[in-house]
């Protein structure tokens, strides 16, 4: 195991398998439009095969992206009853299978936009349900010392997916003739690789210990915990007892779950927190940069298209490296709450400063050679912004939201949070081109203001969860009981 203890190795393996959903999410997000290769939907081969022209291009691109996000949003509300009934493992297999059906239909040259749109919705159902199950499965299986790190794998794999999509699009755009359908079929068909790795990889993993306990399958739960910890010591037995006690306490509290329980005071606070955290993740402006990087950099350096595309490619590499540094070295050393608050402050200052520089300094025109000092400064600020994002609001919402719910409402609670992620992903991806066109430098100012608002709300409202077991986090029955959580954090 190269010096890695078996239990840690198995935790990393589990996180890597399930977070292929994050790679898939990133790959699909970066593949279609506005990366530095142009994107599949801008390939003339795709336009010719699906018979649309400049007059319908914007609508086609909007529907292609938006319908998958719609399918993913709907899947968030279908996933939690399915995963409650089938378990985390089987639900992720099913999600992979559904996504593969959509990907296969997209890859076939049907010449029908209707069939293509249908396939996008189907793929969205598979991808959306996976994004709900992955964080809860991760949180339920990880030891508290690794929960933040392995939970952050999702965002790291997401950045790898975007980066891979950029270069695959670049390769087929430059290496395959524009009249060949394989130019667009190859990048679309390659989605089947991470989707297949997710589905087949689940065969190597046990079911969630906490889900099995919730269903009364205690022997299987004990075997699952032994496998992931690679240990049968008294410490593991004590952890099993704690899990059973926590699950049984939740079951006794209110037998026969009903959806209206989510409106009870303590539960509603948790659901609202999950919804707000993922809304904030999208409102930082980072998702908009992922979709529309070239347009943003054009605002900063002028109309030099090649330079804007180069800066976008570097932007993708910065995301991968910065998120990797955070996951490997800092994810379990830093306070969740402090990082989220501080990250939002720094991102806000970067965006507002960028807005001020762009407003005060006219962008160079296409005839200008090189980049001005102000252009270099703003690009550096945006790179700093994405580094900070991948140290804070990029990776941390995934483990944080999965940590704050008791077993009884974890499925619907996480589903509500992830649904907000897909909802505002859709809203901001549709709105951003209009913001860039109509607001110009004001777009950076708006994101900066959002970031500072997020910082203030996070400082007032968010609680610390680092270093606590899931049972300890929910012990007070109120995510708003700051005193109780902080006492236990200090004790830990």
Closest among 438, 445, 420, 432 to 350, alpha carbons compared: 445
In sequence order, what DSSP letters do the residues of 397-459 get, joined into one string?
HHHHHHHSS-GGGHHHHHHHHHHHHHHHHHHHHHHHHHHHHHHTTHHHHHHHHHHHHHHHHHH
202, two tokens: 């689940």
Neighbours of 293 (CB within 10 A): 26
CA distance 259 to 372: 57
For 80-106, write each residue's pLDDT tens digit.
899 999 999 999 999 999 999 999 999
For 234-261, write each residue's pLDDT tens digit.
999 999 999 999 888 877 765 677 888 8
pLDDT for residue 483 is more than 50: no
Whole-number pLDDT of residue 182: 96
Half-sphere exposure of 195 (CA within 13 A, CB side): 25
Contact yes or no for 400/258 (Cβ under 8 A): no
SS3 247: helix
C-alpha separations of 176 from 36, 44, 45, 272, 450 in Å? 17, 12, 10, 48, 42
CA distance 188 to 182: 10
pLDDT for residue 387 is more than 50: yes
The helix-helix angle for 113-141 and 20-31 (nearest 10°) equals 150
- Residues sharing a CB contact under 8 Å with residue 478, sequence separation 6 or more, in sequence order: 265, 266, 269, 484
CA distance 112 to 102: 14
Range from 107-111, 114-118, 262-266, 342-346 carrying the lowest mean pLDDT = 262-266
pLDDT for residue 299 is more than 70: yes
Domains and CATH numbers, the chain: 1-205 (1.20.1250.20), 261-492 (1.20.1250.20)
SS3 174: helix
Handedness of CA 406, 412, 416, 417 (dihedral sign): positive
The model carries a pTM of 0.85
Whole-number pLDDT of residue 492: 42
Whole-number pLDDT of residue 87: 97
Contact yes or no for 373/304 (Cβ under 8 A): no
Q: What is the dihedral of CA 42, 43, 47, 53, to 10 degrees?
A: 50
What is the total residue count of the chain? 492
CA distance 474 to 400: 13
């Amino acid at each position: 195991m190269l010096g890695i203890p078996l239990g840690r190795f198995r935790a990393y393996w589990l996180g890597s398998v399930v977070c292929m959903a994050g790679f898939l999410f990133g790959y699909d997000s970066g593949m279609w439009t506005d990366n530095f290769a142009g994107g599949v939907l801008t390939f003339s081969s795709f336009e010719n095969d699906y018979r649309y022209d400049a007059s319908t291009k914007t609508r086609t691109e909007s529907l292609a992206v938006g319908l998958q996000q719609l399918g993913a949003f709907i899947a968030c509300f279908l996933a939690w009853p399915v995963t409650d009934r089938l378990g985390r493992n089987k639900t992720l297999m099913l999600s992979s299978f559904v996504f593969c059906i959509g990907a296969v239909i997209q890859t076939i040259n049907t010449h029908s936009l209707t069939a293509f749109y249908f396939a996008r919705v189907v793929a969205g159902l598979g991808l959306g349900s996976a994004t709900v199950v992955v964080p809860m499965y991760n949180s339920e299986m990880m030891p508290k010392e690794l929960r933040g790190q392995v939970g952050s794998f999702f965002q790291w794999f997401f950045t790898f997916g975007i980066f891979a999509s950029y270069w695959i699009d670049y390769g087929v755009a430059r290496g395959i003739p524009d009249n060949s359908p394989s130019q667009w079929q190859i990048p679309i068909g390659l989605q089947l690789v991470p989707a297949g790795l997710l589905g087949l990889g689940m065969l190597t993993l046990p079911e969630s210990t906490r889900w099995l306990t919730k269903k009364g399958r205690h022997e299987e739960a004990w075997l699952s915990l032994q496998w992931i910890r690679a240990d049968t010591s008294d410490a593991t037995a004590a952890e099993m007892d704690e899990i059973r006690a926590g699950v049984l306490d939740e079951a006794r509290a209110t037998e026969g779950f009903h959806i209206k329980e989510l409106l009870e005071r303590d539960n509603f606070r948790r659901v609202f927190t999950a919804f707000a955290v993922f809304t904030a993740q999208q409102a930082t402006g980072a998702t908009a940069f992922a979709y529309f990087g070239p347009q943003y950099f054009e605002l900063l350096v002028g109309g030099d298209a090649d330079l804007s595309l180069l800066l976008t490619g570097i932007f993708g590499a910065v995301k991968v490296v910065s998120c990797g540094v955070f996951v490997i070295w800092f994810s379990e050393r830093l306070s969740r709450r402090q990082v989220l608050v501080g990250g939002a402050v720094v991102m806000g200052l970067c965006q507002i400063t960028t807005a001020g520089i762009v407003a005060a300094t006219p962008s160079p025109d296409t005839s200008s050679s090189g980049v001005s000092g102000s252009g270099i400064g703003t690009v550096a600020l945006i790179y700093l912004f994405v580094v900070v994002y991948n140290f804070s609001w990029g990776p941390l919402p995934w483990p944080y939201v999965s940590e704050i719910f008791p077993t009884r409402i974890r499925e619907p609670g996480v589903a509500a949070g992830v649904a907000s992620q897909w909802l505002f992903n859709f809203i901001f991806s549709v709105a951003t081109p209009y913001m860039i066109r109509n607001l110009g430098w004001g777009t950076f100012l708006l994101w900066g203001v959002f970031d500072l608002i997020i910082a203030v709300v996070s400082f007032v409202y968010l609680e610390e969860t680092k270093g606590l077991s899931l049972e300890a986090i929910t012990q007070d029955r109120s995510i708003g009981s700051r005193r109780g959580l902080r006492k236990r954090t200090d004790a830990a």
